[in-house]
């Protein structure tokens, strides 16, 4: 790229404006308190939380994007050098407080960058987002969909967060004499904690910085830093471990609950199963064949409460938007989670794009001469992604790739 216009979750130089989808650490790599590269657009909640993560950030650079209406930006075309207008609409990503997806329209066409998101059928937020997207795209095709492909594999079939939250409450109820610790991030899973608190009529302990976040976001006064007030504690995910649970159990009976989509990727490795799952042409119905909570250790329950969408939701989303091209925002050297592998039959210009990829596949085969190539686990299939693949345990792919694979520049040349 010689010069660009817009970057999303990417913080290097060369763009005129920058967009942040949400404040999770894997989307802010390269962003710091001393960052000065241009205006930064984000949601109102993200703007509120910004100083907690970047204390000395120049807040005059931040612009709040309201949800559901078009905003216009006057930029300079990197192609012609003349003035051009870009339109952007934000849609609630239903991932964590303040998370947004962005729909852009300009000389480069029409593009949607989802960031991390969840697309549950039962969610009102999703219903509103669906209407916004369909109205916005009424007379227009979506040229590129930058998609949250964290769980883009038929293996990843898990229930809505509503269902998973009920399972978590059931686990807590089944342990009336135990202390409970729940591993969470510095942002996200607030709705789960609210549900536990309301259902069990109990306060939730959080660490001091997390309490500050709760206050900034305006959550009700159910969170506390006083351990004597509750037996349910939400702790930083980094401190949630077998060792911690064993140590706590020397003092009091304690169980840990880990709400995450990741245990299902562990299953794929454990069973040494084919990570491609079933055929890509098959329809994957949401809420079918769903796994539920399980006791993964004497003291630990893992529950598939995920803030990322499952495979069935990805399918529904792509069917709804019918983009011309799809690119995963979690970069992958393998096709385990490559959206185009599974959904090329739903893309708008599938014939032309498919031919392009066939060409790339042929080039790939030529390149592989003299290199080590680990083949797909399904005989007869070929990958559309990954020039030089390594055999890596699938369990680590998701978490590792999420740390490095985000961000895009719009109108890259
Ligand atoms: Zn996230």
Show me where the domains of the chain are located. Answer: 6-151+310-410, 161-303
**394 or 18, which is more confident?**
18
Q: How many angstroms separate the alpha carbon of residue 95 from the centre of ligand 1?
A: 7
- Indicate the SS3 state at residue 153: coil
Q: What H or E segment, with its residue span, contains residue 173?
A: helix 161-173
Which pLDDT belongs to residue 410?
63
Q: How many angstroms separate the alpha carbon of residue 245 from the centre of ligand 1?
A: 26
Q: How many angstroms separate the alpha carbon of residue 117 from the centre of ligand 1?
A: 8
Sequence-distant (6+) residues with CB within 8 A of 9 are 19, 20, 21, 27, 28, 113, 115, 329, 406, 407, 408
Average pLDDT over residues 350-377: 37
Q: How many angstroms separate the alpha carbon of residue 368 from the centre of ligand 1?
A: 35
Which pLDDT belongs to residue 1?
31
Q: What H or E segment, with its residue span, contains residue 135?
A: helix 124-136
Whether the CB-CB separation of 402 and 9 falls below 8 Å is answered with no
Q: How many angstroms separate the alpha carbon of residue 360 from the centre of ligand 1?
A: 31
Whether the CB-CB separation of 10 and 146 falls below 8 Å is answered with no
Ion ligand 1: residues, Cβ under 5 Å? 24, 116
Q: What percent of the chain has pLDDT over 90?
A: 67
Which pLDDT belongs to residue 168?
96
Q: 363-401 burial by CB neighbour count: b if 16+ within 10 A, else e?
A: ebeeeeeeeeeeebeeeeeebbbbeebeeeebbebbeeb
- For residue 373, the Cα-to-chain-centroid distance in whole angstroms is 29
Lowest mean pLDDT among 188-197, 216-225, 280-289: 280-289
Q: How many angstroms separate the alpha carbon of residue 106 from the centre of ligand 1?
A: 27
Q: Is residue 381 pLDDT above 50, yes or no?
A: no
Q: How many angstroms separate the alpha carbon of residue 82 from the centre of ligand 1?
A: 36
Confidence grade of residue 292 (pLDDT, cut at 50, 70, 90): confident
Digit-coded pLDDT (tens) for 199-251: 999 999 999 999 999 999 999 899 999 999 999 999 999 999 999 999 999 99
- May I ask the CATH class of domain 6-151+310-410? alpha beta
Residue 341: Cβ-neighbour burial (10 angstroms; 0-12, 13-18, 19+): buried
Average pLDDT over residues 315-342: 85
Q: Is residue 334 pLDDT above 70, yes or no?
A: no
Dihedral sign from CA coordinates of 306, 308, 311, 312: positive
Digit-coded pLDDT (tens) for 58-115: 999 999 999 999 999 999 998 899 999 999 999 999 999 999 999 999 999 999 999 9
Which pLDDT belongs to residue 333?
57
Quickly count: other Cβ atoms within 10 Å of residue 5's Cβ: 24
Digit-coded pLDDT (tens) for 298-324: 999 999 999 999 999 999 999 999 999
d(CA 267, CA 260): 13
d(CA 237, CA 381): 38
Confidence grade of residue 176 (pLDDT, cut at 50, 70, 90): very high
Q: What percent of the chain has pLDDT over 70?
A: 76
Q: Is residue 30 pLDDT above 80, yes or no?
A: yes
**The domain made up of 161-303 is a member of CATH 3.40.50.12650:** yes
Q: How many angstroms separate the alpha carbon of residue 379 from the centre of ligand 1?
A: 35
Confidence grade of residue 409 (pLDDT, cut at 50, 70, 90): confident
Digit-coded pLDDT (tens) for 110-149: 999 999 999 999 999 999 999 999 999 988 899 999 999 9
Average pLDDT score, the chain: 81
Dihedral sign from CA coordinates of 7, 11, 12, 18: positive
Q: How many angstroms separate the alpha carbon of residue 370 from the centre of ligand 1?
A: 39
- Indicate the SS3 state at residue 81: coil
Q: How many angstroms separate the alpha carbon of residue 26 from the centre of ligand 1?
A: 7
Q: Is residue 282 pLDDT above 60, yes or no?
A: no
Which pLDDT belongs to residue 57?
96
Q: How many angstroms separate the alpha carbon of residue 94 from the centre of ligand 1?
A: 10
**25 or 389, which is more confident?**
25
Nearest to 107 by CA among 1, 9, 6: 6
Average pLDDT over residues 4-16: 94
Q: How many angstroms separate the alpha carbon of residue 297 from the centre of ligand 1?
A: 26
Whether the CB-CB separation of 338 and 152 falls below 8 Å is answered with yes
Which pLDDT belongs to residue 295?
87
């Amino acid at each position: 790229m010689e010069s660009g216009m817009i970057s999303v979750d990417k913080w290097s130089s060369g763009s005129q404006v920058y967009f942040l989808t949400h404040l999770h650490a894997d989307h802010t790599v390269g962003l710091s308190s001393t960052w000065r590269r241009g205006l930064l657009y984000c949601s109102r909640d993200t703007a509120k939380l910004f100083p907690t993560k970047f204390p000395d950030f120049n807040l005059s650079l931040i612009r709040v994007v309201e949800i559901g209406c078009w905003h216009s930006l006057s930029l300079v075309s990197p192609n012609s050098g003349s003035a051009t207008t870009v339109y952007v609409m934000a849609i609630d990503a239903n991932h964590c407080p303040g998370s947004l997806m962005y729909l852009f329209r300009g000389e480069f066409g029409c593009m949607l960058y989802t960031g991390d998101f969840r697309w549950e059928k039962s969610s009102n937020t999703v219903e509103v987002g669906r209407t916004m997207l369909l109205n916005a795209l009424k007379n227009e095709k979506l040229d590129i969909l930058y998609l949250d492909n964290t769980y883009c594999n038929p293996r990843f079939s898990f229930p809505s967060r509503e269902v998973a939250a009920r399972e978590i409450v059931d686990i807590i109820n089944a342990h009336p004499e135990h202390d409970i610790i729940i591993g969470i991030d510095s942002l996200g899973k607030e709705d789960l904690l609210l549900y536990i608190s309301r259902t069990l009529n109990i306060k939730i302990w959080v660490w001091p910085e997390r309490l500050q976040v709760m206050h900034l976001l305006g959550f009700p006064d159910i969170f506390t830093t006083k351990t004597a007030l509750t037996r349910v504690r939400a702790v930083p995910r980094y401190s949630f471990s077998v060792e911690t649970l064993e140590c706590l159990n020397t003092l009091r009976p304690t169980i840990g609950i880990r709400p995450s989509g990741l245990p299902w990727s562990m299953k794929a490795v454990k069973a040494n199963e084919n990570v491609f799952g079933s055929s890509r042409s098959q329809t994957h119905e949401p809420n079918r064949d769903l796994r539920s909570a399980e006791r993964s250790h004497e003291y630990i329950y893992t529950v598939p409460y995920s803030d990322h969408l499952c495979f069935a939701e990805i399918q529904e989303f792509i069917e709804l938007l019918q983009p011309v091209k799809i690119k995963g925002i979690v970069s992958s050297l393998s096709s385990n989670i490559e959206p185009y592998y599974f959904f090329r039959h739903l893309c708008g210009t599938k014939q032309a794009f498919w031919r392009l990829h066939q060409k790339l596949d042929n080039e790939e085969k030529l390149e592989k001469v003299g290199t080590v190539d680990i083949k797909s686990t399904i005989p007869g299939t070929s990958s559309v992604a990954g020039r030089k693949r390594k055999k890596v345990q699938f369990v680590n792919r998701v978490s590792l790739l999420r740390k490095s694979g985000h961000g895009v520049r719009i109108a890259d040349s």
